Amino acid sequence: MHNCFAAVARHPFRGLWTLGLIVLLSAEARVVTVTTADNLNPPAGQKSLLQALTELQDGDEIRFNLPGPGPHLIETPPGGYPLITRHNVVIDGYSQPGAAPNTNPILAPNNARLRIALDSRNGHHRLMDFPGDGPNDDTGYGDREAAILGVLGARGFVLRGVSLLGVPRVGPDAGVALYGVAFARGASGRISGCWIGLHPDGQTLAGPANGVSGFRYRVRDDSGAEVESILINDVVIGVAKAATNAPADFNVFVGIPAIPVILEGHGARIAGNFFGVMPDGVRDVNLMLDPALAGSFKGFIEIGRGGNHTVIGTDGDGVNDAHERNIFGGTLPPAFGGYEHSLEFYGASPGTNIVIAGNFFGVGIDGQTRFTNAVPVLNAAGGAAQYRFGSNFDGVSDELEGNVVFNYWPPELFGPEYLYQLNPVDLGFFDELDSGGVLSARGNTFVHNLAFPVAPGRADGAFLAAYYQKALEAPAAGLLPVIAPESTALRLKGTVPRARTPEWPETHVDLYLADPEGLATGRALELPELPDGFVQGRRFLGTFRDNGPADADPRAGRFDFDLSGLGLTDGVVTITANYASGPVTAPGTVVLTSPFSAPVRLTGGGGGGELRFTAIRLEAGSVRLEWTGGGVLQSAPQPLGPWQDVAGAASGYTTPAAGVKFFRLRR
């Protein structure tokens, strides 16, 4: 087969570029079948994995047909496997008879049946200290880093249906860090349907230090100055865009003490994975509790040196969105041997269009089983980075895009007593948010997290004003939206800080039921900056546009929304203001989310029943109440509560006509 195309070539030493014509001559893509697990002495007529990787050609697909039921453990040979330098190579563990990919949705146990394991528990490895193209180049890897499978400059590599087993440190002095898959010098690929750090038995943990790594390659001239940075772009971990069988692509990363996924580049797509969670989806594994591994963990995912167009979770395109969530276990704080946050971005350039949506953090697939978790979920670093944490409310899969974040649990370890010992400036949801960045957080479920977006006392109280000044006419006048006291469960009234409309023409108000755990814990700290505690939204209720069609108050910065369609009868609510650079349904719109408002209890909803007084017998000193539509009768001494259920009350209830008392129905 002949492929002819124009290409740009660089002189390896002088950094000069020339345009030339390159002709590739290659054979048709082959299927190479591995028939023996013996890499050292394969029987005559049999093919080992080592042989298959040594003889690679572009486009080869490596399949497996080993005798016996398995699982088959293929031990890494001394010196490791050769680096993969051929393009579009596929290693398919699901081709082994008896293997089967997962068929369950992401919010169910992973039932994949793996029968091929690449086993480096013997300590054998391939060092990633490959020579650079030029004498001064920085390859991104050194002689203390190794891999089970190394991919050097090859595009389109695919690994599926394989278990990768190893130990964190190898070498004579145990000074070499072992990685599962290592992408180098502009390599790209996809890891799908694999268990990394977990034996096919679904119980035995054996993780390398990192699961998947990919570091930039820096071209340097004779003086040592950087000429070019070659990144690891467009790597897919899990479900590819428009995948035809998304559940088959789910990965499990567990038993990995350092970093399950670290990539330096743009366009990473990480979707449909369990991180630090066993295949049953309700048990997490926290290696930070092992004294021998304490301090090793550096977050579940690190994205560096690029970050543009990264997707972690649901992309919201209407295809496979329900299958694209990631499930994350818990992270311990550094004082407990852990790390500062669960997800980290560093060296962003600039970090445009980073989407983190639809994920579960600190809670199992059932949405109830809580994991030990006590750090900010995301650092949100970058002086010009743009993060979307949650939904964009563009009308496509909005209900699937909200993240679910359970934190600071269990309370006996990470309750008010623990938080009281921290510096108040550290009591924020994001720990490295930059004042130049932009962060949207909409439609999420936040349970027992800290102050959003950061602690109000950060930078002596000046940070939030500096952060929001990019959007507001007068940030010094106040940053929080306000729910008016005359609001009810039928009408929401209030104000939002006014935006600079030329740059931020739309303001949207998101309504949530407030999280009682965050309120109670924050109030227990008695911090003057947080009089209402850690205000956050536990359940998203709806969104409205200021001065939009549903706003009955035409004044800018004031709103009056009809809530009757929500069916809300009673509840403590909070709101955020969301400043949009254009219509939220338009591609490329950037949104900046305000802090949560002070919580307010809304009452006075209809409850779906009609309360009507049909008999007033003053002479008997009583009032008879009759109603339709069901519901639970509640009473209170004043219109705003506190409301209490009237035990055993049914239509026809009679109450003494003494004093003043208010009644309502609750669904």
Task: Name the 3-class secondary structure at 10.
Answer: strand
The pair of structure tokens assigned to 48 is: 């080992």
- d(C-alpha 27, C-alpha 44), whole Å: 25
pLDDT at 28: 66
Same domain, 544 and 634: no
pLDDT at 9: 33
Q: Is 440 within the bounds of a domain?
A: no
Same domain, 61 and 116: yes
Q: Of the residues 581, 602, 623, which one is the last residue of a structural domain?
A: 602
Q: Is 374 within the bounds of a domain?
A: no
pLDDT at 661: 74
Same domain, 587 and 618: no
Q: Is 441 within the bounds of a domain?
A: no
Which among 338, 339, 509, 370 is positioned nearest to 449, based on CA atoms? 370
Give 508's strand partners: 545, 578
Q: Is 360 within the bounds of a domain?
A: no
Task: Name the 3-class secondary structure at 27.
Answer: coil
Which among 638, 605, 609, 642 is positioned nearest to 491, based on CA atoms? 605
Q: Of the residues 313, 346, 379, which one is the last residue of a structural domain?
A: 346
Which among 179, 335, 294, 307 is positioned nearest to 231, based on CA atoms? 307
Q: How many domains does the chain have?
A: 3
SS3 content of the chain, % helix, strand, coil (to 5): 10, 35, 55
For residue 282, the enclosing domain spans 28-287+294-331+340-346
Q: Is 281 within the bounds of a domain?
A: yes
Same domain, 188 and 132: yes
Mean pLDDT score across all residues of the chain = 92
Same domain, 516 and 616: no
The pair of structure tokens assigned to 179 is: 């990685």
Same domain, 511 and 641: no
**81-114 pLDDT tens trace:** 999 999 999 999 999 999 999 999 999 999 999 9
Give the CA radius of gyration of the chain: 29
Q: Is 397 within the bounds of a domain?
A: no
- d(C-alpha 214, C-alpha 39), whole Å: 27
Same domain, 94 and 202: yes
The pair of structure tokens assigned to 98 is: 């008896």
- d(C-alpha 8, C-alpha 21), whole Å: 8
**602-614 pLDDT tens trace:** 998 654 444 444 4
Same domain, 480 and 547: yes
Number of neighbouring beta carbons within 10 Å of residue 314: 29
Q: Of the residues 583, 602, 621, which one is the last residue of a structural domain?
A: 602
Same domain, 620 and 511: no
Which residue reads 């001394």 in tokens?
78
Same domain, 36 and 167: yes
Residues ≥6 apart with Cβ < 8 Å to 412? none
pLDDT at 6: 31
Q: What is the CATH number of the domain that holds 503?
A: 2.60.40
pLDDT at 633: 84
Same domain, 634 and 508: no
Which parts of the chain have pLDDT scores under 70?
1-28, 605-621, 627-631, 638-641, 658-660, 666-667
The pair of structure tokens assigned to 652 is: 């026809």
Same domain, 574 and 622: no
In this structure, are residues 359 and 393 in contact, taking their beta carbons and an 8 Å threshold?
no
Q: Is 404 within the bounds of a domain?
A: no
Torsion of Cα atoms, 451 then 570 then 640 then 481, to 10° = 40
Task: Name the 3-class secondary structure at 161.
Answer: coil
Q: Is 417 within the bounds of a domain?
A: no
